[in-house]
């Protein structure tokens, strides 16, 4: 007969653990990364251009700032045709309400996105 031996708590946990339990953290990590990659692929058409950009002009309706982690970013609400678009501008002190501003229209999978042109604002 064999004599019973003392088993430590750690050994007992290992013996009682169901198969695959040790890898559950890795599986969760892989599922999380896969979910993020999939979400990025689904949302990427909103950011990447699918056609040529087109320069146009609009009229500045209002000026303001948006606060973010890097500080305050100057923004302008611009009337482009029948649309009102919100664009980041480079130098808020050079623009006034009513100014003409170059706006670049980018075609994306789902609609368009607008950015301010490098020429900035000009007085009419």
Q: What is the pLDDT of residues 19-33, one digit of tens each?
A: 555 566 777 888 888
User: Is the pTM above the cut of 0.75?
Assistant: no
Q: What is the pLDDT of residues 6-17, one digit of tens each?
A: 767 777 666 666
Rounded Cα distance between 110 and 41, Å, is: 14
Rounded Cα distance between 90 and 71, Å, is: 14
Q: What is the pLDDT of residues 78-111, one digit of tens each?
A: 999 898 999 988 876 688 999 999 999 988 777 7
Tell me, what's the pLDDT at 2?
66
Residue 21, token pair as written in the block = 């339990």
């Amino acid at each position: 007969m064999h004599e019973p031996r003392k088993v430590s708590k750690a050994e007992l946990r290992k013996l009682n653990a169901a198969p695959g339990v040790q890898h559950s953290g890795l599986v969760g990590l892989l599922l999380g990364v896969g979910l993020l990659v999939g979400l990025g692929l689904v949302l990427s058409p909103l950011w990447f251009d699918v056609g040529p950009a087109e320069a146009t002009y609009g009229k500045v309706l209002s000026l303001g700032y948006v606060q973010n982690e890097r500080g305050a970013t100057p923004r302008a609400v611009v009337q482009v045709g029948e649309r009102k678009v919100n664009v980041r501008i480079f130098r808020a002190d050079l623009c006034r309400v009513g100014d003409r501003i170059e706006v670049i229209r980018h075609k994306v999978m789902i609609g368009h996105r607008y950015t301010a042109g490098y020429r900035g604002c000009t007085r009419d």
